[in-house]
A = this chain, B = another copy of it.
Amino acid sequence: MSDDALVIFTPSGKRGRVARGTTVLAAARKLGVDLDSVCGGRGICSKCQVSPGYGEFSKHGVTVAPAALSDWNAVEERYDRVRGLKEGRRLGCQACIQGDVVIDVPPESQVHRQVIRKSASDRVMAMDPATRRYYVEVREPDMHEPTGDFQRLAEALESQWEIKGLAADPSLLGKLQKTLRKGDWKVTVAVFHDHLGPPRIVDLWPGFHDAPLYGLAVDLGSTTIAAHLASLTDGRVLASSGLMNPQIRFGEDLMSRVSYAMMNPGGDAEMTSAVRAGLNTLAEALAEEAKIEPADIVEVVVVCNPVMHHLLLGIDPVELGQAPFALATSDAVGLAAAEIGLTAINPGARGYLLPLIAGHVGADAAAVALSEEPYNSGDLALIVDVGTNAEILLGDSRRVLACSSPTGPAFEGAQISSGQRAAPGAIERVEIDPATKEPRFRVIGCELWSDDPGFAEATAATGVTGICGSGIIEAVAEMRIAGLLDPSGLIGSAEQTGTPRCEPQGRTHAYLIHDGSADGGSRITVTQGDIRAIQLAKSALYAGARLLMDELGVDRVDRVVLAGAFGAHISPKHAMVLGMIPDCPLDKVTSAGNAAGTGARIALCSVAARRAIEAEVRRIHKVETAIEPRFQEHFVAANAIPHASDPFPELSRVVTLPAVSFNTGGGGEAGGRRRRRG
């Protein structure tokens, strides 16, 4: 019998020879196998469970005998008695290799395991968290060798976990002293270690502490702040929530906030305080919803546009309001969460802001890229994240371009006469019968259509209160399909369209979708002004996409990905009728849900992902829409529904648009033509 033995680990297939008597955990470390352990091989944490294979394994060319591992020892027996060990499992830190053996590492024993998400975005999340817990036994102080408690803890982490160059904020050192004594020199330490700095103590607990740690993935938008509370152990989302960005009171859109900072000394600091307060409120709400302690939140990843980014960091965004839109800093930022005012969570928590792509293309676009990975795409993908600004990415594995387009808030239901945010009672789907010109619709919070029996009763609680972003897009597209709108966007009169729902309104017309006024409810119409707002927004979006296509020298894209909270609800057919997106086979238009939020979650769960997106962002080519003459040309040409300048062959396979024209040369003439002169 030779002194060493062959070990093969599955599923990695890693193999090698180790001295007989080596523990499975030690063998795994030696061979670079991903086998978890928090207690460092002391038989406490049970993270290192493995399933040894016995019998013949001819495909590996080894014969494995049941005696290939040492017998159960007292630690395993006690563990099984107290906490139960699954059939066939061993503790990797206790079982010793006695002969050739194949050892399977089950998914739950892998540090970098992939976890299937069941909620909103069914996403495989690769775990490589920056913050991990380590159980260590620390040397007691010795008057004759008077080193500090921190130095002895650092020494223990180095010798027991190979963590070198440990750092700690002075504010943690007092707690460190108390915890070491409370735990009788055995403590569990949460260490944050990313690619930007040395390993750093986040928090610590007496003895072995197995409670999970959590992180926040925040999508900080101009209008809303959305956040997920996720476990840093398996990436599971425990709670998701959102609130209005409290900066709204300083201006609805980005440029009005930049103006506020320019016009009001200290205005930037006011907005910084407001958004930081909002983040704290959100963090507390999420912790309460998930029934965890806010102090168990030890990381926060934020994605946002450049203005939000600078205001969150406390940087006056004034330079972002004027060419050349110079960022104060463009790289990813790693800092203490307290430095961005996040005081509601663990005081040692760390923060990470994804890199910015350009002065108008933010960390939110970087997060979309991280989520959708155009740089790994074989076909040419157009990725559009629709919000108050649209972030647009176009590319494939060879090259990725990015730009931002100022769509304004119309797609979110703002600046629309009956517009409202997506909430119960808001119209989200609209259909108009091309023959009768009668509409039917659905509201958020109810599965019935408005012409289904029982709709009135089902919506009695909320009523029909307005029309949200996806609803207004469907309404406008359906109006065009039904011949209520001409290609220039003009609403016809009752005479021209043959329906009394086209009511006069000043010198133009409006289309009545719902009249609840008899019951004290609201009258919901689509006005000519609403049509113009949507036309401006969709023209901006389309022009941005076309600009990138020009830059890449292509006329078509292989697929379109709609992202943004809103992307999940929009129907590809209506987006194409409206001319929001370039022509593309309908089955190639998909929704990515809240891709920016997903990107934030991916970064929260993985240091490797942070490294990857930082490298990719450097390779992305940025196109600045604000100074590009072709953007204005595309913008003007895209005003019609659908565009006069584009053939849209795919669209004609889906729907035939009527060749109506309501243009009477009067005062209600299309804004698009006026713009053409501008």
Contact = CB atoms under 8 A, between A and B. Distances in A.
Interface of A: 140-151, 168-171, 173-174, 176-178, 268, 310, 313-316, 319, 323-331, 333, 335, 339-340, 356-359, 361, 622, 624, 627
A147 B339 CA distance: 23
A150 B315 CA distance: 12
B148 A331 contact: yes
Contact of A170 (B151, B176, B178, B314): B314
A149 to B, nearest CB: 6
Given A143-B359, A359-B143, A173 B328 contact: yes
Contacts of A315: 170, 173-174, 177
20 contacts: A142-B324, A143-B325, A143-B358, A143-B359, A144-B622, A145-B622, A146-B326, A146-B357, A147-B327, A148-B327, A148-B331, A150-B328, A150-B329, A151-B331, A169-B339, A170-B329, A173-B328, A173-B329, A174-B314, A176-B328
A361 B147 CA distance: 12
A324 B150 contact: no
A359 B624 contact: no
A173 B320 CA distance: 14
A327 B146 contact: yes
A101 B464 CA distance: 91
A149 B329 contact: yes
Nearest to A353: B170
Contacts of A148: 326-331, 356
Contacts of A149: 319, 326-329
A627 B324 CA distance: 69
Nearest to A142: B324
Given A177-B316, A316-B174, A146 B325 contact: yes
A148 B359 CA distance: 9
Nearest to A170: B313
Nearest to A323: B143
User: What 6 A-B pairs come out closest when comparing CB atoms?
Assistant: A148-B330, A141-B326, A146-B358, A173-B328, A148-B329, A148-B327
Contact of A177 (B140, B326, B622): B326
A622 B148 CA distance: 13
Q: Could you say how many copies of this chain the assembly holds? A: 2
Contacts of A330: 146-148, 150-151
Determine the main DSSP class of A at the interface with B: loop
Select the residue from A174, A330, A361, A622 with max chain B CB neighbours within 10 A: A174
Given A315-B174, A333-B170, A359 B326 contact: no
A319 B329 CA distance: 43
Given A141-B326, A325-B143, A313 B151 contact: no
Given A146-B624, A168-B329, A170-B314, 11 more contacts: A143-B324, A144-B622, A146-B324, A146-B359, A147-B330, A148-B326, A150-B329, A170-B329, A173-B315, A177-B316, A177-B319
A608 B361 CA distance: 44
A170 B324 contact: no
A325 B170 CA distance: 18
A594 B170 CA distance: 28
Contacts of A314: 170-171, 174
A367 to B, nearest CB: 17
A328 B146 contact: no
Contacts of A323: 143
A340 B171 CA distance: 10
A330 B153 CA distance: 12
A151 B339 CA distance: 20
Contacts of A147: 327, 330
Contact of A143 (B329, B339, B624): B624
Contacts of A170: 313-315, 329, 333, 335, 339-340
